[in-house]
Amino acid sequence: MTIQIDKKEFELLLEYDQIEKNIRLIGIQINVAYEKRLPVFISVLNGSFMFAADLLKEIEIGCEISFVKLASYQGERQSEQIKNLIGLNMSLQDREVIILEDIVESGNTLKQVIELVKKEKPASVAVCTLLLKPAALQHDFDEIAYVGFEIENEFVVGYGLDYNGLGRNLKDIYRLKREIP
């Protein structure tokens, strides 16, 4: 199955059933790891909104959620300059924090989010990402604890991920197949 966004054709990479299954497994892992604790989930907007919503439905332990919004994309290229658009709205001091990301590519955005969170002096920081592109990483992270899927270094859209603001609403995840003349 293929879709078109602007002048780009995308092909199916991950069906929602696969995504849902892996999110369920991550939820079980977090429920076990944080049993009798009260973690704070920090969802990185905009891309992680679908992932965060589906994951939190699987979390059975007590928890809180907050949001940060950073911008690092212009079209399909990741910019070196990261802008913090919306900050934290709660204290994270002595809290167990789980950062929710839709995708970790270069790691520039994640590095900034981790630095922002660590300034708040949390008890611990873990990262949970739906997608990880190991070949694209420019930083090392000890904090990445939960990964839904490792994928190749390809441009993807759907399930919260976009191309120029389009495609976030797609249930499945698609990878760039070709440019359309």
Parallel, antiparallel, or unpaired: how do β-strands 173-179 and 8-14 relate? antiparallel
- Given the residues 105, 120, 154, 179, select the one marked as catalytic: 105
In the DSSP assignment, the letter for residue 136 is G
Integer Cα distance of 89 and 92 in angstroms: 9
Structure tokens, 58: 């699987």
Rounded to 5 degrees, φ, ψ at 61 are -90, 165
Integer Cα distance of 129 and 126 in angstroms: 10
First vs last C-alpha separation in the chain:
20
CB-based contact 141:83 (threshold 8 Å): no
Residue 105 known to be catalytic: yes
Instruction: Give counts: helices (H), strands (E), the chain.
Output: 3, 10
Residue numbers annotated as active site:
105
